[in-house]
């Protein structure tokens, strides 16, 4: 990592039944504050979602502490770096859902939709079809303003303003998406995972989630079949395919 980019940005989530309460909230806040980290941690009965930035030593120390909980021992992280701290403060919040869909019966930890890794997805997009010969449709589950910053080539999006609009929009698309392999994607994986589970619940077939979202795709594949940049919810505003702040 270049010396000019000393700040490590980590993004992670996991759907898991969690005893999220004020005690846990305070523990997270105390650890993050002691390590001089900034960002946001969301704790919910359905899991954890975090965007945190700080020095390498600080982010590593936080992850060691988080993964000491057996439920979170396999928490996977996406990393990028920046020259300055992209967050203004440290927040730890208790929420009903770690990503609001307003469909609390959707519990991805009880059964995930199938996922496709970045390298495999690139193979499909290179070929124009999946391993069974079905055409591949990329489905953007992000908000309209995020899509404008960059997306997969020829991806479908429904110009939503917030993720809770997605269920109503996708319920109208059974006929349009029939006979195709659908790959849902988002920034880091959380929205596309929940979207894919919901789509399975309402009868869609051949639905996959992009494992780790756009950030993991950039990390492993780069910009293949993707145009422009990826919006992020911090002061960087966007990162390019090198996971560097877009200038």
Here the tokens at position 63 are 């992850």
Indicate the helix (H) or strand (E) that contains 26: helix 22-34
Q: DSSP of 61-91, one letter per residue?
A: HHHHHHHTSGGGTT--EEEEEESS---SSEE
From residue 168, give the alpha-carbon distance in Å to each of 104, 199, 202: 15, 11, 11
> Dihedral of CA 53/57/59/62: which sign?
negative
d(CA 2, CA 181): 40
From the candidates 32, 81, 186, 192, give the one annotated as an active-site residue.
Answer: 186
Q: Which letter, b or e, does each residue of 7-19 get, where b requires 16 or more Cβ atoms within 10 Å of its Cβ?
A: bbbbbbbbbbebe
Q: Residue 81 catalytic?
A: no
Query: 212 is written with which tokens?
Result: 């780790």
Return the active site residues.
186
């Amino acid at each position: 990592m270049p010396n000019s980019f000393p700040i490590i940005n980590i993004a992670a989530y996991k759907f898991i039944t969690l005893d999220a309460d004020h005690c846990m909230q305070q523990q997270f806040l105390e650890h993050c504050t002691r390590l001089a980290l900034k960002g946001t941690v969301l704790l919910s009965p359905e899991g954890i979602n975090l965007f945190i930035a700080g020095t390498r030593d600080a982010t590593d120390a936080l992850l060691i502490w988080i993964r000491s909980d057996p439920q979170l021992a396999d928490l996977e992280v996406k990393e990028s770096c920046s020259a300055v701290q992209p967050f203004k403060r440290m927040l730890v919040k208790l929420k009903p859902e770690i990503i609001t869909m307003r469909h609390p019966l959707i519990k991805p930890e009880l059964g995930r939709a199938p996922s496709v890794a970045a390298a495999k997805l690139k193979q499909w997009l290179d070929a124009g079809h999946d391993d069974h010969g079905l055409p591949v449709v990329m489905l953007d589950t992000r908000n309209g303003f995020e899509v404008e910053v960059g997306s997969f080539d020829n991806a479908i999006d429904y110009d939503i303003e917030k993720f809770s609009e997605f269920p109503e929009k996708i319920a109208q698309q059974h006929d349009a998406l029939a006979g195709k392999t659908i790959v849902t994607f988002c920034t880091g994986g959380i929205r596309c995972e929940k979207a894919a589970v919901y789509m399975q619940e309402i009868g869609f077939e051949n639905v996959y989630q992009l494992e780790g979202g756009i950030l993991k795709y950039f990390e492993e594949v780069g910009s293949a079949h993707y145009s422009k940049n990826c919006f992020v919810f911090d002061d960087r505003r966007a990162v390019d395919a090198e996971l560097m702040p877009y200038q």
